[in-house]
């Protein structure tokens, strides 16, 4: 085995031991010189959620990453993982429903790394269960604020900084040369949606409503900011096995039922969403904006609208991510 292969195998083994999952580890460098801000970048312990996976993968590909989370300790755990693999990252505690916190996170990014190229809007909550008949205005408003308004607030403060970045051959000399002749984008925003926002059909009214809003907000933002060289895309995960799902407790029966909802009859995890985010964030997706990328093992291709009750967690159907 070559030295490079031995090193890759060792890194993969260490990652698998730490997280319980095997992270994609092939060497990449396309984000060298770029800076990413990831919200919801933390997770409990060594768990791998969508945000933590995105932060780790972006850092592994050369980006400096600001890991933002409501719980500072969770964000610091992600920073620790990144630094142990030779990456650069800092943690910041923010409430994404607070505009001042959103502005502060962006400002910290600029003060620390001097630029902002990538924003990953990953925060989302399931919100209240029930139909329109069960609606309570306060919890409904809070759910929309957390799932939708927060992404608009982060974009509001991130986009002006992205507009400072140069295009094409005028790009900062610190940046690795683009895979193509000149970088054709100033900034990249990836919003976290859900297949629930595409299909509905859950026991909740709030969650598919909010995630549906994220999908169309992404399209609107993409149209608004494309002329300025800012790409905006959306990742819609399906039934991934992440701390958001298994944290409250999940039986083997429920886990198997969720797995069987996919056409591939397999289980995805945070790394799958993270890899999709990494792709949309960088040069390989330079000609992609306004796209809604499903990461669901074919769930949205299925003609079945059944929602197996065996897949419920704590008496309520699980959230889609």
**Both tokens assigned to 54:** 């995105």
The set of residues, in sequence order, having a beta carbon less than 8 Å from that of 245 and lying 6+ positions away, is 239, 258, 313, 318, 319
241 is a catalytic site residue? no
Beta bridge partners of 237: 295
Catalytic residue among 113, 207, 241, 246: 207
Q: How far is CA 295 from CA 91, 203, 210, 257, 292, in A?
A: 27, 21, 18, 18, 10
How many Å apart are CA 275 and CA 108, to the nearest integer? 26
- Please report the sign of the dihedral spanned by the C-alpha atoms of residue 218, residue 94, residue 248, residue 49: positive
Asked if residue 39 lies in contact with residue 66, where contact means CB atoms within 8 angstroms, the answer is: no
Please list the active-site residues. 207
């Amino acid at each position: 085995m070559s030295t490079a292969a031995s090193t890759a195998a060792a890194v993969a083994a260490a990652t698998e031991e730490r997280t319980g999952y095997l992270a994609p580890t092939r060497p990449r460098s396309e984000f060298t010189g770029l800076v990413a801000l990831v919200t919801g970048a933390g997770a409990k312990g060594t768990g791998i959620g969508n945000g933590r996976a995105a932060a780790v993968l972006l850092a592994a590909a050369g980006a400096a990453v600001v890991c933002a989370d409501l719980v500072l300790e969770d964000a610091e755990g992600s920073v620790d993982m990144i630094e142990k693999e030779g990456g650069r990252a800092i943690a910041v505690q923010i409430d994404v429903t607070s505009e001042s916190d959103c502005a502060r996170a962006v400002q910290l990014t600029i003060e620390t790394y001097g630029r902002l190229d990538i924003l990953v809007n990953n925060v989302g909550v399931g919100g209240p269960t029930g139909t329109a008949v069960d609606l309570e205005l306060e919890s409904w408003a809070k759910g929309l604020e957390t799932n939708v308004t927060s992404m608009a607030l982060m974009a509001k403060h991130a986009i002006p900084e992205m507009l400072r970045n140069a295009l094409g051959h005028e790009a900062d000399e610190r940046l690795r040369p683009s895979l193509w002749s000149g970088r054709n984008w100033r900034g990249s925003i990836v919003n976290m949606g859900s297949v629930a926002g595409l299909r509905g059909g859950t026991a909740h009214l709030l969650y598919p409503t909010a995630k549906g809003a994220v999908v169309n907000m992404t399209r609107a933002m993409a149209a608004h900011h494309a002329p300025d060289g800012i790409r905006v895309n959306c990742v819609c995960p399906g039934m991934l096995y992440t701390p958001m799902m298994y944290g409250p407790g999940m039986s083997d029966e429920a886990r198997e039922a969720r797995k069987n909802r996919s056409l591939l009859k397999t289980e995805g995890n945070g790394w799958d969403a993270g890899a999709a985010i990494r792709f949309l964030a960088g040069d390989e997706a330079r000609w992609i904006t306004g796209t809604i990328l499903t990461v669901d093992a074919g769930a949205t291709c299925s003609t079945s609208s059944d929602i197996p009750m065996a897949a419920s967690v704590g008496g309520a159907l699980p959230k889609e991510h």
